[in-house]
Amino acid sequence: MTSHSSPGRVRVQVPATSANLGPVFDCAGLALTHHDVLEVGVETDGLRVEVGGVGAGELPTDESHLVVRAFRAACAELDWTPPGLRVLARNAIPQGRGMGSSAAAVVAGVVAAWELCPDVGSTDLDAVLRLTTTMEGHPDNVAACLLGGLVLSWTTDAGVSATRVEVDGDVLPVVLVPDATLSTHVARSLLPDAVPHADASFTAGRAALLVHALTREPGLLFAATEDRLHQRQRATAMPASARLLERLRAAGHAAVVSGAGPSLLVLTRRHPDDPPADPAGALRVREVADLTPPGWTVLPLGVDLRGVRVHRPGQRVSSG
């Protein structure tokens, strides 16, 4: 992160994320090349919030806006009270679709406060991870949003930790976004308090395999994305997603529910048999799109390798 010495304004770019990735429930996230961009500035007084793009005219523009709430929470931790605040949000991440929109907002607000506070020399990523995890309830999305790439996260009595691992360059994420939304709270309410030992063992094995598949051997992605902990249990809340998921997997695609849904993430990959003139995997994307019904948006994306980026006027972009 950048060093700084005086309040002013910053531009914060935060990536969408997909968590769970099938079997790696609540402890892994993948940063994607789809971003919200926010300009946050210290003003002489008052609060001004403007929202453009996704959520314009729907999201609040007062103290209840999630970026503002996250900014205030960080200010409380830093024991700093700015005289006024301006937030200009240009959103591209779909809301309520399982692409980490709330995590992106929380990360943006907390990082902006750290960057603007005149009493600290640089942003403490460990502290940011701890605070954003507290606000989100679990670290998978916020950790990936902060660090970029594939991020594994875990909690201990001492707090929360995360580590970033490199994704194989042949992995090509495609996100399928429906018109419908689904709240994370509703999705979590459908999960049972206990699961059979056989299902837990099966999913733990697939979770370990998925890390290997994403980082070293993408040819194993289909087997590695099988899950028995949460996707089937949530199907009644998103029947259209469940049907499409079944159709994609029946055709051999490594498809999973993105986060709590209802979006789906398909982990396509470059293949030795693909045409040399198709480095971006357009053929694989077309295969997925052909199976996707009307009313869904197909987003061929890349893996965001940098995570949150901060730009201060007169300085280069920095990343965590």
Structural domains of the chain, ranges and CATH numbers in brackets: 9-165+304-312 (3.30.230.10), 171-300 (3.30.70.890)
pLDDT of 153 over the 80 cut? yes
For residue 221, give every residue at least 6 positions away whose Cβ sits within 8 Å of its Cβ, in sequence order, or none.
171, 210, 213, 214, 254, 267, 269
CA-nearest of 57, 55, 17, 24 to 38 is 55
**Quick one: CA torsion of 146, 147, 148, 153, rounded to 10 degrees?**
-100
pLDDT (average), residues 156-170: 94
Q: Looking at the predicted structure, is the pLDDT value of residue 306 above 90?
A: yes
Torsion, Cα 157 183 60 28, to 10 degrees, reads 40
pLDDT at 4: 45
Least confident of 97-111, 121-135, 239-253, 280-294: 280-294
Question: pTM value?
Answer: 0.91
Query: What angle (nearest 5°) sits at the alpha carbon of residue 106, between those of residues 103 and 109?
Result: 145
Q: What is the pLDDT of residue 299?
A: 96
CA dist., res. 305 & res. 144, Å (int): 10
CA angle 162, 187, 148 (to 5 degrees): 25
pLDDT at 2 > cutoff 80? no
Query: Which range is most confident: 172-181, 182-191, 281-290?
Result: 172-181
Confidence category of residue 181, pLDDT binned at 50, 70, 90: confident
Unique residue bearing structure tokens 């005289």: 83
For residue 223, which amino acid is it?
Answer: A
Residue 6's pLDDT band, with cuts at 50, 70 and 90, is: very low
Give the torsion through C-alpha atoms of 183, 189, 191, 192, to 10 deg: 180
**Per-residue pLDDT tens over the stretch 210-239:** 999 999 999 999 999 999 988 888 888 899
- Look over the chain and give the mean of its residue pLDDT values, rounded to a whole number: 91
Q: Which tokens hold the place of 58?
A: 């729907």
